[in-house]
């Protein structure tokens, strides 16, 4: 473990570094740089569902565990969930709620862009794989959100394709009411 020479380092540091440090120390300061969003999103996709969604109340957490382990579904990560041919709707809804909670919380641990991408990805997966809408967003609003998500440069191609499929389905539904 490397030592940090507090006094020696601080007494050499210019006001600019001190100001940047004090600003970065604020809880609401950005934790991650924009170019890190891709890595963070990939990590979120590969994260065990139970780690993040396990933060719900005990009864929900127990149900979550049961669902994710049921019928030998290998729903270990968010990526597994989004790309399962028939993902449990309850789990997708929980993933969407988890993402929404992070989007709306000022002290959220997840970068807002990553949380928003996960939010729309959960909605897109339910819509594309199960033909279910797990959101109350209207078509126009949903289209705007999916297009925003699809346009994120740091997004994995397979996730971008999921958004594209959802957009196509939404367009078809709009032309065939």
Partner 1 sequence: MSSDSRASSIFPRTDWAELGPAAVADTARLDRLIRLYWAPLRIFLLASFPSLKDQADVLLQEFAEDKMLKAGWLQRADQQRGHFRDFLKISLRHFVLDRLSRADVKHAPVSLDEMEVEPSGPEETAEAFDLTWVRTVLAETLRRMEADCKDPSAEQPRRGRIWEMFRIRLLEPLFNGAPQVPYEQLIETFGLKSPTDASNMLLSGKRIFKTHLSRVIKEYAGQDAATAEEIRALEEFVARLARKMP
58-69 and 89-104 helices, crossing angle to 10°: 130
Our finding on whether 2 is near partner 1 (CB under 8 A) is: yes
**Choice between 25 and 58, CB closer to partner 1:** 25
Q: Which residues, 6 or more positions from 46, have their beta carbon under 8 angstroms from its beta carbon?
A: 77, 78, 79
Look at residue 152 and give its three-state secondary structure: coil
What are the C-alpha distances in Å from 11 to residues 16, 68, 174? 13, 53, 64
Q: Among 36, 90, 156, 164, which residue sits at the site for partner 1 (rule: CB under 8 A)?
A: 36
Q: Tokens 């997708």 sit at which residue?
A: 92
From the list 127, 129, 136, the residue with the least C-alpha distance to 171 is: 127
Work out how close the CB of 131 gets to partner 1 at its nearest, in angstroms, rounded to a whole number.
29
Stretch that binds partner 1, among 39-47, 87-95, 136-144, 160-168 (CB under 8 A): 39-47
Stretch that binds partner 1, among 29-37, 131-139, 145-153, 162-170 (CB under 8 A): 29-37
Our finding on whether 44 is near partner 1 (CB under 8 A) is: yes
List residues binding partner 1 (CB under 8 A): 1-2, 4, 6-7, 9-11, 13-27, 31-33, 36, 39-41, 43-44, 47-48, 51-52, 102, 107-111, 114
């Amino acid at each position: 473990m490397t030592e940090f020479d507090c006094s020696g380092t601080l007494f050499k540091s210019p006001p600019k570094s001190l100001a940047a440090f004090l600003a970065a120390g604020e809880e609401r300061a950005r934790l991650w740089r924009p170019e890190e969003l891709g890595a963070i999103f990939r990590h979120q996709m590969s994260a065990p569902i139970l780690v993040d969604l396990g933060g719900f109340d005990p009864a929900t957490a127990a149900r979550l565990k049961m669902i994710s382990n049921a019928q030998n579904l290998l729903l270990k990560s968010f990526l597994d969930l989004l790309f399962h041919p028939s993902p449990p709707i309850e789990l997708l809804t929980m993933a969407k709620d988890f993402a929404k909670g992070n989007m709306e919380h000022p002290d959220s641990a997840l970068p807002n862009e990553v949380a928003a991408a996960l939010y729309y990805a959960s909605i897109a997966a339910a819509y594309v794989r199960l033909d279910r809408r797990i959101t109350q967003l209207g078509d126009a609003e949903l289209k705007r959100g999916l297009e925003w998500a699809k346009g994120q440069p740091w997004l994995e191609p397979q996730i971008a394709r999921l958004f594209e499929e959802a957009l196509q389905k939404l367009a078809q539904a709009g032309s065939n009411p």
